[in-house]
Amino acid sequence: MTVKTSELVITDRRVLIKVGFIQRHTFEMFISKIESVAVFQSMLGRLFNYGTVEIRGTGGSSESFATIAAPLRFRDAIQLVQSSSERR
């Protein structure tokens, strides 16, 4: 039996993603270092609103997270924080 949990947090300064229950994978990146956020959805993913989110940082680093609920909303939230932090 595999139990998997995910926690996705977007603040005005960083994105934090924690995946796993027993084994935990943690990803953290400052908003200012994010170059792009890509969303990949299959037909079923579009139908049931889930997909894979890939975050690319400056310097070529990237992380992918599969089976994320509402991936477009997650991407839009990151872009909103990025645009509001650029205005400051």
CATH code, 49: 2.30.29.30
Please tell me the total count of domains within the chain: 1
| Res 22: pLDDT | 83
Residue 39 lies in a domain: yes
| Res 25: pLDDT | 87
Over its length of 88 residues, how does the chain's per-residue pLDDT go in tens digits? 556 788 999 999 999 999 888 888 899 999 999 999 999 999 999 999 999 999 999 988 899 998 899 999 999 999 999 998 877 6
25 is in which domain, residue-wise?
6-86
| Res 36: pLDDT | 95
Residue 1 lies in a domain: no
Burial profile 35-63: b = 16 or more Cβ within 10 angstroms, e = fewer:
eebebebeeebeeeebbbbbbbbeeeeee
41 in Cβ contact with 50 (< 8 Å):
yes
Residue 63 lies in a domain: yes
